[in-house]
Chain A
């Protein structure tokens, strides 16, 4: 018989936080390759398989809406036999509530979903798990994201990414939209997670189980998709534009696209920029705006 020491493998217990993009603007757009219901059925199967792998595994699902986000499923509560029903019911309630909030103001710009909010909620949940009890599963976050990045959320998202890095929580991202997401690329790169944009979304379950079901312990000896290139561009604090080059406050490292007299974040006064530098800067950043 092969001696398989049970101690060695005791650390594959995981807590998976799944962030589902429920943004109606993304799912109703014509460029979306498959329907929300199809997506959900694949994700539900994936959640079932995670819970199947280890009896101590825990799954928490957070819906990322357009105006709000909320916990819609927690496997540590409730019974096993009505998993899908509870999740779907909560999801429906969430979507309705999210829509009601929307009536107050009109949709502006690209209609990105509230990723920063759900990331922070996931991190809060993980912190709570860390602080309760001595034994806790290894946490990781999986973002199933489709809508485009909202540059306005840049600061909030970067802050969540750094706090995830600090608490050693990898952020995996599976991009289901048609564009790459610079935020998620950076998130996965900084926290050591996996970033993947599946080519064929019909086989999403297979992508999810082969790549994202891998526990952190096994990742150290498996070959997982490597990042091809990471878009490191930042958003400026003044107009929330994505820029290649700009001004940085030497005191608090805030980023600006134009020269200001005073830093809007920390209030330190800037000197006059040298003319030649500012001219070349303005030339370079032009195509992005």
Chain B
């Protein structure tokens, strides 16, 4: 089974990995230039701004002159990133001196922005629509409901009665790939990464899903560059304003429908027109994931006796808690459970780590306990870690085994060599056999071939 690694990367890594042709085309859209500039490390932003009105290539050494010794690594990261995104084109002349030049299209779009100021991607519709627009709070509630519904749908389509009418089964398959493993006889089970996925915060989850959506777009006959540019453009819309559907292309219209299922957008139908309203999920898309302002309020209280109270009405929260705790009562607004050894063992065997559980409990701590330090009692966190280490009594180290040494001298030399790298795991001087870590296998081989 192909291992899907869930890393909370951001949108721009995906953009950077696009082929050159597509990347150049993306820069024709001014909003993408803006979004990409904002995603850069500060030093890179500064370089772009500095070179914005310079048409001739600038030598690398003159750029380096601005940097103090401490900042050399930051400088390298910034320049690498700029080259990787094809914002800088690097040319090396005969004297082997590199010089950089800004991407023409990118430069032009930014110049325009700086002179004319920001422009909105689309004019919002007039306020005189017959239907009342949802308030910002209503929109937030809608977005989180829709997202939870989607997650529930995603993890156990068998147990929960199907409330979402719309997400197409083929679409669902795409999202479930990697998170669920399908077995014919026993239905679907969450995979290791599926469990980890549930414990991530909403932004990271959203990003994972959007990434799957984009990488799958080619199969649906949608160009991934078009899709990325539309998604980025969407993040520049104003939350809570209504935008007419007529302004979208056909492909964008189908995309908007998919995004509405995820809670990124709310669709509304008037008498004549229909329009879409971006929610906070959509406008946060291009912002880096570490943005703490989007953190939701917590709901979990853990006591020193391992009991767990979750003030929540959400089914999803209950399902998540079930991953590592025994749910005892379910009241209308309260879930009572306890963290037990058996449940934790089950969680560990599913691939969830103790650290993930603890950080989940800490991140979602109820505001009353969140002020306390530590927010989760120490004896509970310690015990969770201890139970995990119970299961890992045997430590595995990939290793290589050597025997049949031609002489004792060679054997001794080999042992010393391995010791020097502190990679000698075991030796048997009588039978002249030794085991070393895999990392130094190549060095070891080279060393032995010189000995002969």
A160 to B438: give the CA distance in the assembly, Å. Answer: 64
Q: A80-B118, A81-B120 in contact; A1/B84 too (CB < 8 A)?
A: yes
Given contacts A210-B49, A213-B49, 5 further A-B contacts (CB under 8 A): A52-B114, A84-B117, A210-B50, A221-B43, A222-B67
Tally of chain B residues near chain A (CB < 8 A): 43
A220 to B110: give the CA distance in the assembly, Å. Answer: 27
Which residues of chain A in 1-31 are interfacial with respect to chain B, using CB atoms and an 8 Å cutoff? 1-2, 4, 6-7, 9-10, 12
A4 to B34: give the CA distance in the assembly, Å. Answer: 19
A82 to B118: give the CA distance in the assembly, Å. Answer: 8
Q: Which residues of B contact A223 (CB under 8 A)?
A: 65-68
Residue of A nearest to B13 (CB): A1
- A218 x B81 contact (CB < 8 A): no
Is A205 an interface residue when CB atoms closer than 8 A count as contact? yes
Q: Which residues of B contact A55 (CB under 8 A)?
A: 38, 287
16 residue pairs A–B, Cβ–Cβ below 8 Å: A1-B13, A1-B16, A4-B77, A9-B42, A10-B291, A48-B117, A49-B52, A51-B118, A52-B114, A54-B38, A55-B38, A82-B117, A205-B53, A217-B42, A222-B46, A223-B68
A261 to B338: give the CA distance in the assembly, Å. Answer: 81
Q: Which 3 A-B pairs have the closest CB atoms?
A: A221-B71, A6-B288, A80-B118
Q: A80-B120, A84-B117 in contact; A206/B84 too (CB < 8 A)?
A: no
- A45 x B70 contact (CB < 8 A): no
- A52 x B53 contact (CB < 8 A): no
Is A168 an interface residue when CB atoms closer than 8 A count as contact? no
Is A165 an interface residue when CB atoms closer than 8 A count as contact? no
Residue of A nearest to B68 (CB): A221
Which residues of chain B in 1-55 are interfacial with respect to chain A, using CB atoms and an 8 Å cutoff? 10, 13, 16-17, 34, 37-38, 41-43, 45-46, 49-50, 52-53
Residues of B at the A interface (CB closer than 8 Å) are: 10, 13, 16-17, 34, 37-38, 41-43, 45-46, 49-50, 52-53, 65-68, 70-71, 74-75, 77, 80-81, 84, 110, 113-115, 117-120, 287-293
Q: Which residues of A contact B81 (CB under 8 A)?
A: 2, 4
- A1 x B17 contact (CB < 8 A): yes
Q: Which residues of B contact A12 (CB under 8 A)?
A: 42, 45
Q: A49-B114, A81-B117, A223-B65 in contact; A209/B52 too (CB < 8 A)?
A: yes
- A4 x B117 contact (CB < 8 A): no
**Which residue of A7, A10, A81, A135 contacts B119 across the interface (Cβ within 8 Å)?**
A81
A49 to B33: give the CA distance in the assembly, Å. Answer: 13
- A218 x B68 contact (CB < 8 A): no
Q: Which residues of B contact A221 (CB under 8 A)?
A: 43, 67-68, 70-71, 74-75
Q: Which residues of B contact A220 (CB under 8 A)?
A: 68, 70-71
Is A99 an interface residue when CB atoms closer than 8 A count as contact? no
SS class of chain A's interface: helix, strand, loop or mixed? Answer: helix
Bitwise, A206-240 to B at CB < 8 A (1) or not (0) is 10011001110110111100000000000000000
Q: Which residues of A contact B287 (CB under 8 A)?
A: 55
Tally the A-B contacts, defined by beta carbons under 8 Å. Answer: 100
SS class of chain B's interface: helix, strand, loop or mixed? Answer: helix
- B42 x A7 contact (CB < 8 A): no
Residue of A nearest to B70 (CB): A221
CB distance from A176 to the nearest CB of B (A): 19
Interface residues on A, range: 35 or more
A218 to B67: give the CA distance in the assembly, Å. Answer: 10
Q: A218-B46, A222-B68 in contact; A6/B290 too (CB < 8 A)?
A: yes
A210 to B63: give the CA distance in the assembly, Å. Answer: 11
Is A260 an interface residue when CB atoms closer than 8 A count as contact? no
CB distance from A90 to the nearest CB of B (A): 15
- B290 x A222 contact (CB < 8 A): no
A82 to B120: give the CA distance in the assembly, Å. Answer: 11
A7 to B50: give the CA distance in the assembly, Å. Answer: 24
Is A197 an interface residue when CB atoms closer than 8 A count as contact? no
Residue of B nearest to A8 (CB): B41
Q: Which residues of A contact B49 (CB under 8 A)?
A: 49, 53, 209-210, 213
Residues of A at the B interface (CB closer than 8 Å) are: 1-2, 4, 6-7, 9-10, 12, 45, 48-49, 51-55, 80-84, 135, 205-206, 209-210, 213-215, 217-218, 220-223
A55 to B291: give the CA distance in the assembly, Å. Answer: 12
Residue of B nearest to A214 (CB): B46
Residue of A nearest to B291 (CB): A10
- A53 x B70 contact (CB < 8 A): no
Residue of A nearest to B288 (CB): A6
**Which residue of A82, A83, A209, A218 contacts B42 across the interface (Cβ within 8 Å)?**
A218
Q: A1-B17, A2-B80, A10-B290 in contact; A215/B67 too (CB < 8 A)?
A: no
Q: Which residues of B contact A45 (CB under 8 A)?
A: 114-115
- A206 x B70 contact (CB < 8 A): no
CB distance from A7 to the nearest CB of B (A): 5
CB distance from A1 to the nearest CB of B (A): 6
**Which residue of B10, B37, B292 contacts A53 across the interface (Cβ within 8 Å)?**
B37
Residue of A nearest to B54 (CB): A206
Q: Which residues of A contact B114 (CB under 8 A)?
A: 45, 48-49, 52
CB distance from A231 to the nearest CB of B (A): 27
CB distance from B13 to the nearest CB of A (A): 6
A45 to B118: give the CA distance in the assembly, Å. Answer: 11
Most chain B Cβ neighbours within 10 Å, of A9, A135, A206:
A9
A85 to B292: give the CA distance in the assembly, Å. Answer: 33
Residue of B nearest to A7 (CB): B290
CB distance from A284 to the nearest CB of B (A): 41
Q: Which residues of A contact B120 (CB under 8 A)?
A: 80-81
Q: Which residues of B contact A80 (CB under 8 A)?
A: 117-120
- A9 x B292 contact (CB < 8 A): no
A54 to B36: give the CA distance in the assembly, Å. Answer: 11
Q: Which residues of A contact B119 (CB under 8 A)?
A: 80-81
**Which residue of B45, B77, B289 contacts A2 across the interface (Cβ within 8 Å)?**
B77
A104 to B420: give the CA distance in the assembly, Å. Answer: 87
A52 to B41: give the CA distance in the assembly, Å. Answer: 14
CB distance from B157 to the nearest CB of A (A): 33
Q: Which residues of B contact A48 (CB under 8 A)?
A: 113-115, 117-118
Q: Which residues of A contact B53 (CB under 8 A)?
A: 205-206
Most chain B Cβ neighbours within 10 Å, of A1, A7, A12, A213:
A1
A214 to B47: give the CA distance in the assembly, Å. Answer: 10
CB distance from B102 to the nearest CB of A (A): 13
CB distance from B431 to the nearest CB of A (A): 45
CB distance from B206 to the nearest CB of A (A): 15
Q: Which residues of A contact B52 (CB under 8 A)?
A: 49, 209
Q: Which residues of B contact A10 (CB under 8 A)?
A: 288, 290-291
A12 to B119: give the CA distance in the assembly, Å. Answer: 24
